[in-house]
Amino acid sequence: MVIFDNLPLYLEAFLQTLALLLLTTVLALPLGAVIAAMRISPIGSLRATATVYTEILRNTPLVLVFIFCFVVLPILGVILPFMFSAVLALTLYTAPFFAEAIRSGINGVPVGQAEAARSIGMTFGQTVTLVVLPQAIRSVIPPIINVMIALTKNTSIAGGFFIFELFNSGRRLVNENGDQVILALVGVAAFYLLITIPLGQLADFLERRVVIRR
Amino acid sequence: MTSVLYDVPGPKAKVRARVISWITGLIVLALLAYTGLTLWQKGMWDPTRWDIFNDPLVWAVLLRGLVVVLQSALVATVLALLLGMVFALLRMSSHRAIRIPTTIVLEFFRGMPVLLMMLFILLAFPGVSAFWAVVSALAVYNGAIIGEALRSGVVALPKGQREAGLAIGLRPLQARLLIEFPQAFRTMLPIIVAQIVVLLKDTALGYIVGQVALIREGELLAEFVGRQQYFFSIFLVMLAMYLVINLTISTIARQLAKRRGFTVSKVVADESMSAAT
């Protein structure tokens, strides 16, 4: 059967998908935090910059971002390794979504918490570090995981751009096993679900925990 | 919340904020200007890179691609709405034997990339054109998400709505279709419209499975007229086309949300978030 015969190939591709997911998360999450901070900052020009960036990236198809990194940049003389370009495209695209997730998490802390901290005489620094952030971090995690789930699915686009990850392994296996097309692709889907379903469960679990704690 | 965190800024703090705002604004503008200048030095704004757009044939090719994008999106949207209703019905069925398998299948649909689904349909059903592979994968995937939104819309309705329907002698299916769905649809409209933007963006995936739509047309055009020279400008035009359409629909979605004074229930918000990417 095609799935068991090609287990090493699947695993190699699976690890590549995981690498894309983790590298992008590590880069896009801090960038998203910066964008989120810019969007709630009292400085108008920072707010405007972050908003324009978010609006453009959120309304552009990811394929077009990939084409920018893989075709347009080389034309401009910027030639990057494929893996680097793929992570760059995914990072540019995912950062605004992380920013939205972080913003919604921070907004999820009830205003009363900050008001209470202020009314017992805490300074701005104390209010933020001792009261708001500890609660925000907890409520920020489930939406961040949800963005990671979407990101996992988006890494498949890298398969269309020379990266040998799960989607691309599916294409190769289909070429080599024309008689077992369905099985080969179901195997690929199973590996994706191996990432997305546990992440989804984790998000649900954490979400329930957050609700109970409050 | 910002104003809760610190005292209202006084005249000094206000001046400082404005100065910082100007300075950072100038830095951003300087960066943009630098990028533009670098591109200019590379000759990217040179008329020889843009003169193809004087040719109506070039526009005809790009618009032909754009029409395919809009066609795919339109057909997929209609199918996704219908499928969404079917999925929601099955998912809320009173029979376990229907409800549980549907839940599993929907979870499966939402957990795997649309791109993989496109490839699957293209290869598993011989004779299906790239257009229909793209459209049906988009319809199934977005149908699963719209179905989920409809379901949470129905769950959020007061129980009395369904009970009243049943009390005046409607059959359960009639009560769903005539009483609950129209209301759920209306409360979930902003989410559904936002999902349509996602669907429109995802039509671009057709490029990878070999559908000839806007991006592919642009690429072929660039091959024809000289990629090194013209792809940059063609890329910018394609980007602008996508942005104009998506921003228009996004604005409509936002207006709808605002007019309804809409607060999305948490579950659904996360659903659309994960889909939105």
Q: Which domains does chain A have, with CATH numbers?
A: 2-213 (1.10.3720.10)
pLDDT, averaged across chain B: 85
A70 contacts A147 by C-beta, under 8 angstroms: no
Token code pair at residue A141: 């995690």
C-alpha distance from residue B274 to each of A144, A165, A200, B103, B268 (Å): 9, 21, 10, 18, 10
Q: Is the predicted pLDDT of residue B2 greater than 60, yes or no? A: no
- Tokens 């960036």 correspond to A53
Per-residue confidence at B265, pLDDT binned at 50, 70, 90?
very low
- pLDDT, position B3: 56
- pLDDT, position B276: 38
- pLDDT, position B78: 95
Those residues whose C-beta lies under 8 Å from the C-beta of residue B53, and which sit 6 or more positions away, are B59, B233, B237
Query: Considering only CA atoms, which of B19, B95, B210, B41 is closest in space to residue A160?
Result: B210
Q: Does B204 touch chain A (CB under 8 A)?
A: yes
Distance (Å, rounded) from C-alpha B201 to C-alpha B215? 12
**Other C-beta atoms lying within 10 Å of the C-beta of residue A196:** 20
What is the pLDDT averaged over residues B129-140? 93
High-pLDDT (> 90) share of chain B, %: 32
- pLDDT, position B132: 94
Nearest-by-Cβ selection for A60 from B114, B228, B242: B242
- Please say whether the dihedral angle defined by the alpha carbons of residues B104, B110, B116 and B122, taken in this order, is positive or negative: positive
Residue-wise pLDDT tens digits, B12-24: 888 888 888 888 8
Residue-wise pLDDT tens digits, A64-93: 999 999 998 988 888 899 999 999 999 999
* CA A43 and chain centroid, separation: 27
Distance (Å, rounded) from C-alpha B270 to C-alpha B274? 6
- Is CATH 1.10.3720.10 the right assignment for the domain spanning B52-276? yes
Per-residue confidence at A156, pLDDT binned at 50, 70, 90?
very high
Could you tell me how many CB contacts below 8 A there are between chain A and chain B?
168
Residue-wise pLDDT tens digits, A100-118: 888 887 777 888 888 888 8
Is B277 in Cβ contact with A151 (below 8 Å)?
yes
Token code pair at residue A146: 């949800």
Nearest-by-Cβ selection for B277 from A44, A150, A174: A150
Is B4 in Cβ contact with A111 (below 8 Å)?
yes
What is the pLDDT averaged over residues A179-195? 89
B139: region left, alpha or beta (phi > 0 left; psi from -120 to 50 alpha) = alpha
Q: Give ∠ CA B156-B158-B160 in degrees, rounded to 5.
A: 150
Q: Buried b vs exposed e over B204-225: b needs ≥16 C-beta within 10 Å?
A: bbbbbbebbbbbbbbbebbeee
- pLDDT, position B270: 38
Per-residue confidence at A152, pLDDT binned at 50, 70, 90?
very high
What is the pLDDT averaged over residues B262-277? 40
Is A157 in Cβ contact with B112 (below 8 Å)?
no
Is B270 in Cβ contact with A146 (below 8 Å)?
yes
Per-residue confidence at A6, pLDDT binned at 50, 70, 90?
confident
Q: Tell me the H-state helices in A41-132.
A: 44-58, 62-67, 73-75, 82-107, 111-119, 124-126
Q: Is the predicted pLDDT of residue B172 greater than 80, yes or no? A: yes
Distance (Å, rounded) from C-alpha B195 to C-alpha B198? 5
- pLDDT, position B274: 41
- The mean-pLDDT minimum among A206-210, B52-56, B155-159 falls in A206-210
- pLDDT, position B4: 66
Token code pair at residue B100: 């549980």
ipTM of the predicted assembly exceeds 0.90: no
Per-residue confidence at B1, pLDDT binned at 50, 70, 90?
very low
- pLDDT, position A213: 59
Q: Is the predicted pLDDT of residue A212 greater than 60, yes or no? A: no
Is B124 in Cβ contact with A146 (below 8 Å)?
no
What is the DSSP-derived secondary structure letter of residue B211?
A: -
Residue-wise pLDDT tens digits, B89-100: 998 888 888 889
A179 contacts A168 by C-beta, under 8 angstroms: no
Q: Is the predicted pLDDT of residue B266 greater than 60, yes or no? A: no
Contacts of B22 in chain A (CB under 8 A): 45
- Please say whether the dihedral angle defined by the alpha carbons of residues A207, A209, A212 and B3, taken in this order, is positive or negative: negative
What is the pLDDT averaged over residues A150-158? 93
Token code pair at residue B241: 């086309």
Q: Chain B: give the shortest CA distance to residue A8, in Å.
A: 20
- pLDDT, position B260: 67
R_g of chain A, CA atoms, integer Å: 21
**Chosen from A146, A167, A206 to mutate, greatest number of chain B CBs within 10 A:** A146
- pLDDT, position A211: 65
Helix or strand holding residue A149 (H, E): helix A133-154
Is B24 in Cβ contact with A75 (below 8 Å)?
no
